[in-house]
Amino acid sequence: MEQIALVENQTNTTYQRQVQERESDDTYAEIVQKYKKSKMVPWRKFVETPSFMKLVGQLTNEDVIDLACGEGFYTRKLRQITTGKVFGLDYCQNFIKMAIWQQGAANDIDFRQVDCSLPITNIPYQFDLVTPTFLLQNAQSEEKFEQMVQNIWNLCKPGGRVCGLNGSPFIPREQFDKDEKYGQVLSSNSDSYYKNNASEYSVRLFDKVADLDISLKVMWFSGEYYEQIFKKVGFQNFRWVQMELFENTDDIEYWKDFLTNGLILMFEAFKPLIMN
């Protein structure tokens, strides 16, 4: 993958060579299958995806833009629930190609390769709903974080809403392995983690059944900093939203740790209809 801090923990050289040797469409097909699988791991299936879609709620004809859309997992779900415009932005060319390839003939989502940490000038619309799905944890500095939030603001219509998904900023080092049994572990070599904004840490995601073992490099910013910057650009009523368990509810005991101070968290904020 280009440009994304995503490292395969298992070096599968045969797989990589096969992928490189194929024509572009087949290449994307193969990578997409891996990403699709990663979205089927139990915590995503029973917790992340339904919790986020519940936060988004019922849409009808709203215009929506998904930031850091990746291969378009949430963008396609959003497309299914609104008749309005749907855009997906990601800075990784391969992900955008995969997203476009997957929508096939429908071609009803506008996917574009855009770096959301730079001022966004080439999207001539505003949207009722902006969804930064694992975007802000990628900001490399406070300046880039603030620029991302400024972009969210600029892309949001007055009276619009932002619903975000993110690594939780509330996990101290002592709890880095709290969710190991679900296939998620954090690590950090940086002394500044939990002290300074823009401290690097890693999230390892693994699942035997899904044949998944990847590490993502991400950046920690404090929860207060998130709230402060959203307020600074003008958003109101910022709130953190906890994940919930869906479907697998017979096993509530098993899921308790994941839902208590979870490693992933959602947020919501509103752009006022009338500016003061």
Residue where the block lists tokens 């096993």 = 251
Q: How far apart are CA 124 and CA 120, in angstroms?
A: 10
State yes or no: residue 201 binds ligand SAM (CB under 6 A).
no
Site string for ligand SAM, 127-166 (x = CB under 6 A): ------xxx--x----------------------------
Q: In terms of CB distance, is 48 or 128 closer to ligand SAM? A: 48
Residue from the set 56, 63, 65, 90 that interacts with ligand SAM by CB under 6 A: 90
State yes or no: residue 28 binds ligand SAM (CB under 6 A).
no
Residue from the set 42, 70, 160, 164 that interacts with ligand SAM by CB under 6 A: 70
Residue from the set 117, 151, 168, 184 that interacts with ligand SAM by CB under 6 A: 117
The one segment of 53-61, 113-121, 192-200, 261-269 that binds ligand SAM by CB under 6 A: 113-121
For residue 36, report the phi and psi dihedrals to the nearest 5 degrees. Answer: -60, -45
The one segment of 18-26, 85-93, 179-187, 246-254 that binds ligand SAM by CB under 6 A: 85-93
State yes or no: residue 221 binds ligand SAM (CB under 6 A).
no
| Residue with the shortest CB distance to ligand SAM | 70
Write down the least CB distance from residue 276 to ligand SAM, Å: 30
Residue from the set 28, 43, 91, 255 that interacts with ligand SAM by CB under 6 A: 91
Write down the least CB distance from residue 65 to ligand SAM, Å: 12
**How many C-beta atoms surround the C-beta of residue 39 within 10 A?**
16
Residues found near ligand SAM in the complex (CB under 6 A): 4, 68-70, 73-74, 90-92, 95, 115-117, 133-135, 138, 216
